[in-house]
Amino acid sequence: MLNEMLDFGVTNTNIPAFGTVRYGQLFLGMVVNQTTITGGNLLLRGTTAPWVIDAAKKLEALGTLPIGWDSYGGLPLDSDAKKLTVSALGWLEDKNLPVPAVVLGSAGTVQLEWRVKDRELEIELGKNQTVEFVKLAPEGVVEEGEEKTNLPQRLRSLTWWLLYG
């Protein structure tokens, strides 16, 4: 798995992967990306869902797109949006979700898009540690919102809705 992570360039190899005591606790994983966002480390462990690695690879590919990638002056991947997305992957790493579509927004933001049965969830991760979401329920009911605080808990509740209603 380490070689797979090094291939797409987000692994921090300065931090040992296994068996290290870190901050007085056993650290059993490797840090994929260190962020300034609380809880922003993506740790790969035996319990990390496979979709997380697939989504991280897609995210890294988005980072290669230049200005104007969409023929309309679309901005490249914003570094804050990337850090927030990595944090979100870490916050959701143990959830049994399908691999999301990972889409670059024209403002350099990142959208994670899931569809489970007849429910859809889109999460836009942008600058200023802001998450916008759209939920589409089976009956056609749409709920939209924005969150700036308590992001880990909010993202977990949104994905719980997606999976279990």
What average pLDDT does range 134-145 have in this prediction? 94
Provide the pairing of β-strand 110-116 with 101-104: antiparallel
> pTM of the predicted model, to two decimals?
0.77
Residues 6+ apart with CB under 8 A from 131: 84, 88, 123, 124, 125, 146, 147, 148, 151, 154, 155
> Which residue, among 131, 44, 137, 61, has the nearest Cα to 102 in the 3D structure?
61
**Alpha carbon separation from 28 to 3, 50, 122 (Å, rounded):** 17, 17, 31
Where b means 16+ CB within 10 Å and e means fewer, 119-140 reads bbbbbbbbeebbbebebbeeee
Element (H, E) at 59: helix 50-62
- The yes-or-no verdict on residue 14 having pLDDT over 50 is no
3-state secondary structure of 27: strand
Give 81-118 pLDDT, tens digit per residue: 998 999 999 999 999 999 999 999 999 999 999 999 99
CATH of domain 50-164: 3.90.1150
Give 19-74 pLDDT, tens digit per residue: 333 444 444 454 544 433 333 456 677 778 899 989 988 998 998 999 999 999 99
pLDDT for the residue 41 = 55
pLDDT for the residue 99 = 96
| Residue pointed to by tokens 């040992």 | 16
Q: How far is 115 from 162, CA to CA, in rounded Å? A: 8
Q: Using the Cα atoms of residue 22, residue 27, residue 31 and residue 36 in order, give the sign of their dihedral.
A: negative
